[in-house]
Chain A
Amino acid sequence: MKRNALVFATLLIAILAMLAAGKYLTRARKHGTITLVGDVRGVHAPDFELASLDGKRVRLSDYRGKAVLLNFWATWCSPCKVEMPWFVDLQKKYGNDGLVILGVAMDDSEAPKIAQFTSELGVNYPVLLGTDKVSEQYGNVQFLPTTFYIDREGRIVGKDTGLLGRGEIEENIQKALASRVAGVNKANTFAAAPTPAKAQTSAQ
């Protein structure tokens, strides 16, 4: 009787673990793209190329050797608006130490409207136009603001969802800045986005 109960409990735990793994893999392999889900600390930040508000093409890997704060936001997101003046200050405070703040606007609005918004807030860091693809790469960003903190070696050291206090944001920035660069010039420290063919293979 005792043994049966133990077997039953073990089986139940195993089934739950398998269900969780299935759920993880289904989400991670959606559209054949490996996406960030669950605890992302220590994972290499997926590289991307996005258009900036001034029409340039910007890749995350352009900032290798820098600590990057990657902030997903939108003009219709009131909590996002609260953080932006903090980011302006923090960019000034930590810019010389190697911090780069990148805003990713997940708006349907046209670039000039977004530019007007960021100009009114005095935004002093690059703002990129978000796409569904980059949202998927970063775990289907649905909740705004969502912020990733990426260290100098391209690893994610923290993720915030929703508005937190300025103190918590600054602590995460300091963590991202704390890492030292090793062999940055030898290789791209950011994870390359999988090509469609590769992604298809990995999803099979």
Chain B
Amino acid sequence: MRSAFLLLPLVFLVSVLTFAQEPGTRVPTVTMAPVGKVQLRAGGSATVELDFRVGSEFHVNSNKPHSELLIPTALHLTGIEPVKIAAVNYPAGQDVSFPFAPTEKLSVYSGDFTITAVVKASAKAANGTYPVSGELRFQACDRSACYPPRSIPVKFDVTVLNR
């Protein structure tokens, strides 16, 4: 029985070595929180807050990075008639210096950030629920390296209520 306890650390070590990810295999994550109910009247508009979270130790470029070579975070949404996307508003990025370029400031989002979308229903919109879908495109880096651009799906429903 004592041997079994002595073997446990060995088993643990083998497990860790087996499944430990080699550097450069961690995938940066950006997740979106569920969107609450979005309701509006025909001819009206509503502002929808879309909350995103960047995985710890990573950052993504803001929508207005300081260099045209950097890939901005961008939200592309499409509504189905009679719902349209009137505007997408991005938060300002945080200006941050990283160890790889201490004299340069990059405009980034890290942790939680919120993008707002203004949705409008046409004046003749019938009562009903209409899907809005699209994607958030981002390019993430950590303190020493960068990952290729990725996209995550973005979806929510808009309910038009005239009465």
Residues of A within 8 A of B (CB): 1-2, 5-6, 8-9, 12-13, 16-17, 19-20, 38, 74-82, 106, 117, 142-146, 161-164
Known contacts A76-B69, A163-B100; decide if A142 and B106 are in contact (CB<8 Å): no
Residues of B within 8 A of A (CB): 1-4, 7-8, 10-11, 14-15, 18-19, 22-25, 27, 69-71, 98, 100-101, 104, 106, 139, 141-142, 144-149
CB distance from A26 to the nearest CB of B (A): 14
Write the chain B residue with the least CB distance to A164: B144
- B71's contact among A6, A76, A80, A164, by CB below 8 Å, is which? A76
- A143's contact among B14, B101, B145, B149, by CB below 8 Å, is which? B145
CB distance A9 to B146 under 8 Å? no
Write the chain B residue with the least CB distance to A16: B18
CB distance B24 to A161 under 8 Å? yes
- Give 9 nearest A-B pairs by CB, closest first: A5-B4, A143-B24, A161-B24, A162-B144, A162-B145, A9-B7, A77-B146, A79-B100, A20-B18
CB distance from B76 to the nearest CB of A (A): 17
CB distance A163 to B144 under 8 Å? yes
Query: How many angstroms between the C-alpha atoms of A143 and B142 in the bound complex?
Result: 10
CB distance A143 to B25 under 8 Å? yes
CB distance B3 to A6 under 8 Å? yes
